[in-house]
Amino acid sequence: MKLILEPQYCSVLQDFVREAAALVFDFDGTLAAIVQDPTEAFMRPSTARLLRYASLEFPCAILSGRARQDVINRIVGIPVKCTVGNHGLEWDPPRPEFEKYREQVKGWLPLLTKLLKPLRGVELEYKGFSISIHYRKSEAPERVFLAIGDAISQIGAIDIIGGKEVVNCLPHGAPTKGEALAEICNLLNCRKVVYVGDDVTDETAFRTKSYYELLGIRVGCKRDSHAGFCIQYQYEIDELLKALLLFRNK
């Protein structure tokens, strides 16, 4: 992958944002560092300040696997145009056609809770439209990961998206982040978008093909990613935001 902040590639970023372009960010692992306790994931003050400046210069949006209100609580005072939660299933106003997914996920909860209860270090996060199973605190992550897979297999048709010591459970056939990104661009009336994400859940956005021009930037370089560019470390999000602001005002 190409390092977007390297001098030879900065011109790509500059040319891309010279015209009106939207900025869309994942939250965990992108705007905020991955932490042991997901409830403690917050942006550094420097990142929050830069994102606020960026939101005044660009149409900005957040597209996260977290519940929408959870994300909103973590970006207080930052005037993003759009916040979408649950991997693209949770919008404002709510989408009536997605309520069937909420009911489906609610039905998984009792059995998954029962099946996962014996696993030490596992935490189940129910988010309405999806469930995340965290095993960062497990002392035997490989064994626990397999046990989580066995539990999920007893539920039925579930789409599983892996992550950084988390298993995300979504309704089978539900829209993806890629489809949500296309809708965000439509809402913001943008034909160009910079999307920044860090995980498996973001790959559908990186590889989506639609009427808009996409510049995909992955946090953490990975050879098989569909993003064309990357930054190496999460803390470099500040440098990326600074570059976007600099090039926007040139």
- 87-103 in b/e form (b: 16+ CB < 10 A) is bbbbbeeeeeebeebbe
Nearest Cα residue to 173 out of 153, 156, 159? 159
* Rounded distance between C-alpha atoms, residue 116 and residue 30, angstroms: 28
First-to-last C-alpha distance (Å) of the chain: 27
Query: How many beta carbons lie within 10 A of that of residue 125, not counting itself?
Result: 17
The CA distances from residue 17 to 75, 163, 208, 245, in Å, are 23, 30, 20, 9
Give the rounded distance of the alpha carbon of 194 from its chain centre: 13
Among 26, 28, 70, 198, the active-site one is: 26
SS3 42: coil
SS3 158: strand
Q: Please, which residues have CB within 8 angstroms of residue 180's CB and are 6 or more apart in sequence?
A: 63, 84, 87, 88, 89, 205
* Rounded distance between C-alpha atoms, residue 33 and residue 42, angstroms: 7
Give yes or no: 26 in active site.
Answer: yes
> Taking the C-alpha atoms of 34, 12, 241 and 127 in order, what is their torsion angle to the nearest 10 degrees?
-40
* Rounded distance between C-alpha atoms, residue 179 and residue 233, angstroms: 27
Q: What residues are annotated to the active site?
A: 26
